Amino acid sequence: MALDEPTTNLDHENKRGLAIALAQIIASRAAQSNFQLLVITHDEDFVSMMKLELSSQTGFSMPERYYQVAREESSDGRFYSKITAIDWDDL
C-alpha cells in the first residue's frame, strides 16, 4: 500500500484518526510477509502520531528509523537529494 501526502487538508482530529487506522492495519498485517506500507509525507507531526498510536494502542513498535529526503545545494550550484535515516527516538 502506498500513500502520498495522506494528511493534505486534514485537521488534527482527522490526522489522528488516520494514524489510528493505519496503526491498526500495520499491527494486524505485521505477521504477513508480503505486506508493505509506504507513506510519503512532509507532515512530521503525523509521523509522530503514528509512532505514538502504534506503541500505545497496539503494542506494536515502528521500524527503528524513517528516511528524510531533502534538497541541498552543493558548492557548484547544483541541487542534490540528501537522504538521512532518522531514528524514531529522535522524534
The residue ranking higher by pLDDT, 35 or 9, is 9
49, 15 Cβ separation under 8 angstroms: yes
The residue ranking higher by pLDDT, 31 or 10, is 10
- The pTM of the full predicted model, rounded to 2 decimals, is 0.72
The C-alpha cell that represents 39 in the structure block: 507513506
Predicted local distance difference test score (pLDDT) of residue 56: 82
Q: Three-state SS string across 8-62, please?
A: CCCCHHHHHHHHHHHHHHHHHHCCCCCCCCEEECCCHHHHHHHHHHHHHHHCCCC
**Residue 75's pLDDT band (boundaries 50, 70, 90)?**
very high
In percent, the amount of the chain with pLDDT more than 90 equals 38
47, 6 Cβ separation under 8 angstroms: no
Predicted local distance difference test score (pLDDT) of residue 62: 65
Mean pLDDT of 8-20: 95
Predicted local distance difference test score (pLDDT) of residue 36: 84
